[in-house]
């Protein structure tokens, strides 16, 4: 029996920006001696349908693209599939050429076939020599007439390891418009709905998904597949844990796919995630990639890891961050042909086998931040790997225009990173985690971000209380953090241009190469000098009454702001400006506090690590979460 693994597909929207994700925009005419590049805008008109594409007479189109190439290395490493069949239905006269790549991105021609009239052509391809990386793809070359790709797929005759379906868990807070769009897309994707048991929408806001005017019709279309679960705002970890709990209670699904709310889905990515999961040798977390919803050809990251000595997330290759497929597609990007195995995948779209949830528990009760990374690390300690599957992705609202490290989320950044370190750091006394945390405090202090520093200190105090504080504070902490903004000038946003204060020096601009982040000996000297200034020097009254300078957000770096006593700085999203004002007494108090808290945490690290590890099965259990759900 043949099993389709991946369908050849084209975008739901005729959007030239996303066409490079489906077909390589470097298309050359083959009749002329000189190659002529055809624009993506022209190719949009060649999309015939969701499954059909026209290659014009005399042209060549490569489908070495994110959504239509086949990531053979990942199937070889993680699944039982050892051969794949490419099947294409074509009409018109031309040629189909099949290629593979090596882990270094070297292109190799594998097979070809002439096509004429309406016919089906297929190629049996081994998946046995892709140990370190490599893809399969195909090109279509039209002769004296147009060639249409009428449909196609990558399939296998290998038997899947499991055959069950998935449930979906969508966590939302006051983003009903995004949610109903996702639900509408799913309702229209009949071939994907057959793979889904239940769609759980965990609605934690006061702007309800069910109150949208479109909801009634969508709900009728989805029928019993859709279940809305209302609960108070328990953050991402609370919403996703509720979806985990509901899925376990239902007892039908082999997998649970977690989805963020502020996304736009490619429904075939759900099908691909399900199929990959079914063929995995052992239960495996299968994550999907994230593209920027506001700049759709931009890939957030191909693979994400934890730098264990510092215990901080990062990408293994700097060049993979915000890769632009308009500028370089698969064939032009050698690093993309490596198989990159992540430490974790973000829960914007991530499939978890229900057997894993039963074995290792639900999410940490941490509201937001580090829940996804910690879960993957916990799973790995139980022998469960994580894959970020190429060809499976969605579009997510980007955080490029956000800086949540200095708003109320600073608390969760600090506490949850330290908590995950207590649970999973392999180094005595955390390695470099605590020293790095102290440096982050100092950066906030030198840039006059006293609110963020205060929240980070509360995070450490709460962590020192032990695991008993986690569940009871799930719903109360965030409102308390937001309420504390009234005590800090830098959290007050001035949106009215007429109310912006004048500055003594006007707006300061920094050329791109004016300076750079200090490192090494230069960093040590800079830090000592800046800290001494903030510790010793009082602030002239004039710089208290009026900001000294105005800075764009991009120019307000941690090595520039410390030179000023006050500054008017733009918000990351551009909706206003805030006044940052140096206060010597506050700097001194918070710096002393930072050192004392980090010293106390270091002294108690081993004890706290044991306590949190020993209690982990309890506070991630379905029983503990049920109590939290029932308390509200």
What amino acid positions are annotated as catalytic residues?
372
| Secondary structure letter of residue 159 according to DSSP | P
Max CA separation in the chain (angstroms)? 84
Are the C-beta atoms of 459 and 415 separated by less than 8 Å?
yes
At 28, is the secondary structure helix, strand, or coil? strand
Are the C-beta atoms of 517 and 559 separated by less than 8 Å?
yes
Are the C-beta atoms of 194 and 270 separated by less than 8 Å?
no
Residue carrying the six token digits 């594998």: 110
**How far is 253 from 504, CA to CA, in rounded Å?**
64
CA 585 and chain centroid, separation: 40
CA 30, 31, 34, 40 torsion: positive or negative?
negative
**How far is 605 from 599, CA to CA, in rounded Å?**
10
| DSSP H or E segment with residue 217 | helix 215-222
User: Which of 98, 28, 24 is CA-nearest to residue 56?
Assistant: 28
User: Which of 138, 243, 233 is CA-nearest to residue 197?
Assistant: 243
- Joined together, the tokens standing for residue 518 give 């200090």
**How far is 458 from 267, CA to CA, in rounded Å?**
42
Q: For residue 123, give every residue at least 6 positions away whose Cβ sits within 8 Å of its Cβ, in sequence order, or none.
A: 85, 86, 98, 110, 111, 113
| Secondary structure letter of residue 196 according to DSSP | E
């Amino acid at each position: 029996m043949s099993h389709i693994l991946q369908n050849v597909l084209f975008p739901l929207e005729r959007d030239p920006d996303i066409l490079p994700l489906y077909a390589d925009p470097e298309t050359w005419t083959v009749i002329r001696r000189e190659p002529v590049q055809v624009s993506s805008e022209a190719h949009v008109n060649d999309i015939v349908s969701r499954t059909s594409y026209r290659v014009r007479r005399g042209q060549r189109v490569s489908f070495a693209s994110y959504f239509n190439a086949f990531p053979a290395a990942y199937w070889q490493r993680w699944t039982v599939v050892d051969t794949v069949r490419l099947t294409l239905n074509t009409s018109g006269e031309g040629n189909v050429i099949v290629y593979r790549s090596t882990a270094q991105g070297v292109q190799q021609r594998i097979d070809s076939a002439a096509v004429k009239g309406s016919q089906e052509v297929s190629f049996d391809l081994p998946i046995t020599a892709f140990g370190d990386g490599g893809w399969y793809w195909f090109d279509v070359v039209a002769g004296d007439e147009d060639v249409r790709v009428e449909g196609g797929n990558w399939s296998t005759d290998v038997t899947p390891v499991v055959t069950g379906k998935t449930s979906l868990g969508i966590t939302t807070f006051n983003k009903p418009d995004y949610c109903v769009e996702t639900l509408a897309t799913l309702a229209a994707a009949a071939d994907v709905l057959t793979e889904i048991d239940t769609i759980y929408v965990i609605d934690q806001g006061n702007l309800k998904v069910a109150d949208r005017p479109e909801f009634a019709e969508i709900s009728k279309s989805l029928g019993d597949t859709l279940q809305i679960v209302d609960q108070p705002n328990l953050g991402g970890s609370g919403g996703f844990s509720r979806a985990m709990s509901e899925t376990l209670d239902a007892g039908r699904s082999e997998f649970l796919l977690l989805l963020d709310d502020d996304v736009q889905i490619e429904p075939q990515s759900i099908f691909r995630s399900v199929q990959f999961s079914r063929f995995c040798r052992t239960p495996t977390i299968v994550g999907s990639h994230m593209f920027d919803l506001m700049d759709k050809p931009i890939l957030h990251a191909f693979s994400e890891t934890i730098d264990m000595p510092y215990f901080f997330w990062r990408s293994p290759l700097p060049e993979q961050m915000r890769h632009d497929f308009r500028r370089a597609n698969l064939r032009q990007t050698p690093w993309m042909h490596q198989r990159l195995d992540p430490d974790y995948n973000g829960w914007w779209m991530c499939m978890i086998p229900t057997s894993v949830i039963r074995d290792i528990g639900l999410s940490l009760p941490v509201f937001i931040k580090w829940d996804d990374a910690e879960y993957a690390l916990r799973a790995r300690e139980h022998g469960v790997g994580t894959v970020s599957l190429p060809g499976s992705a969605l579009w997510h609202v980007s955080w490029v225009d956000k800086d949540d490290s200095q708003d109320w989320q600073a608390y969760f950044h600090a506490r949850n990173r330290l908590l995950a370190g207590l649970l999973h750091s392999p180094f005595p006394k955390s390695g470099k985690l605590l020293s790095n945390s102290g440096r982050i405090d100092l950066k906030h202090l030198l840039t006059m971000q006293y609110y963020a520093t205060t929240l980070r200190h509360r995070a450490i105090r709460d962590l020192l209380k032990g695991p008993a504080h986690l569940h009871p504070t799930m719903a109360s902490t965030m409102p308390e953090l937001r309420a504390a903004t009234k005590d800090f000038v830098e959290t007050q946003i001035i949106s009215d241009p007429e109310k912006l204060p004048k500055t003594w020096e006007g707006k300061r601009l920094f050329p791109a190469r004016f300076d750079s982040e200090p490192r090494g000996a230069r960093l040590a000297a800079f830090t000592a000098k800046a800290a001494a200034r903030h510790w010793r020097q009082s602030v002239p009254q004039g710089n208290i009454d009026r900001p000294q300078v105005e800075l764009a957000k991009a120019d307000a770096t941690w090595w520039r702001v410390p030179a000023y006593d006050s500054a008017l700085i733009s918000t990351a999203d551009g909706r206003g400006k805030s006044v940052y004002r140096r206060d010597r007494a506050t700097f001194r108090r918070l710096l002393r506090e930072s050192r004392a808290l980090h010293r106390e945490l270091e002294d108690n690290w081993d004890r706290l690590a044991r306590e949190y590890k020993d209690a982990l099965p309890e506070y991630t259990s379905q029983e503990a979460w049920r109590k939290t759900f029932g308390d509200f």
